[in-house]
């Protein structure tokens, strides 16, 4: 039986590239909707896992006002988990009311994650530099 290695070429690519930035130069992390997009928010307008609004999901909380869809216009910034669609700093341009003439897509998986701001880096790794690797 063959063992399938889907990352064979990526293994070679990692040799010289893992320390390089995994995002585009000067990218601030904002993802813009390629299509009209729906994201799930809680009652305070914070983006949460879309499963909470999906009535097919085990995490569905029902239509009791605790969660609802927020509709992002194409080209607009897509909120990450934990970001408030009411926070003017983010410049979200959507609405809690859908446009009946539009079809809304799910948000890209890359936004199904929470962001924060690092106040420090490089606090791990000193032992690896001394011993040459973490394997055993």
Partner 1 sequence: MKRLNVTPRDGWQGLVEAQGLIWHTDPTGVYWDESACYSFTLAEIEAIEAATEEVQHLYLEAGERIAGDERLLSLCGIPASYHDAVRHAWRAQGPALDYGRFDFGYVGQGPPKLFEFNCDTPTSMLETAVVQWEWKEDVFPRADQLNSLHERLIARWQELAPVLPGGRAWFTHFGDAAHEDTITTTYMRDLAMQAGLETRAVLIDQIGIDAQGRIVDQDDLLISALFKLYPWEWLAVEDFGARILPHLATTHWIEPVWKMMWSNKAVLAVLWDMFPGHPNLLPASLDPARLTGSYVSKPVLAREGANIELVEAGRVSARSGGDYSRRRLLYQQLYPLRDFGKGYPVLGSWIVAGTAAGLGIREDGLITGNRARFIPHIIED
**Residue ranges in contact with partner 1 by CB under 8 A:** 2-8, 10-11, 14-15, 18-19, 21-23, 29, 49, 80, 109, 112-136
Measured from the CB atom, is 62 or 128 closer to partner 1? Answer: 128
Compute the distance between CA of residue 15 and CA of residue 40 in angstroms, rounded to an integer.
39
Nearest approach, Cβ of residue 49 and partner 1 (Å):
7
Compute the distance between CA of residue 33 and CA of residue 12 in angstroms, rounded to an integer.
32
Measured from the CB atom, is 18 or 88 closer to partner 1? Answer: 18
Nearest approach, Cβ of residue 113 and partner 1 (Å):
5
Measured from the CB atom, is 101 or 117 closer to partner 1? Answer: 117
Measured from the CB atom, is 18 or 103 closer to partner 1? Answer: 18
Q: Tell me the H-state helices in 8-112.
A: 8-17
Measured from the CB atom, is 3 or 56 closer to partner 1? Answer: 3
Nearest approach, Cβ of residue 73 and partner 1 (Å):
24
Nearest approach, Cβ of residue 80 and partner 1 (Å):
8
Query: Which strands sit side by side in the sheet containing 37-42, from one edge to the other?
Result: 67-72, 37-42, 105-106
Compute the distance between CA of residue 73 and CA of residue 94 in angstroms, rounded to an integer.
6
Compute the distance between CA of residue 60 and CA of residue 40 in angstroms, rounded to an integer.
11
- Are 100 and 75 a contacting pair, CB within 8 Å? no
- Are 38 and 105 a contacting pair, CB within 8 Å? yes
């Amino acid at each position: 039986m063959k063992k399938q290695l889907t990352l064979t070429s990526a293994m070679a690519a990692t040799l010289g590239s893992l320390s390089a930035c995994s995002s585009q130069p000067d990218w601030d992390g904002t993802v813009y909707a390629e299509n009209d997009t729906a994201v799930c928010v809680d009652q305070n307008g914070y983006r949460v896992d879309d499963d909470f609004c999906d009535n097919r999901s085990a995490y569905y909380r029902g239509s009791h006002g605790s969660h609802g869809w927020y509709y992002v216009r194409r080209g607009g910034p897509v909120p990450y988990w934990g970001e408030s669609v009411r926070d003017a700093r983010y410049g979200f341009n959507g609405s809690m009311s859908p446009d009946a003439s539009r079809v809304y897509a799910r948000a890209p998986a890359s936004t199904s994650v929470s962001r924060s701001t690092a106040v420090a880096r490089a606090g791990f790794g000193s032992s690896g530099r001394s011993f040459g690797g973490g394997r055993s």
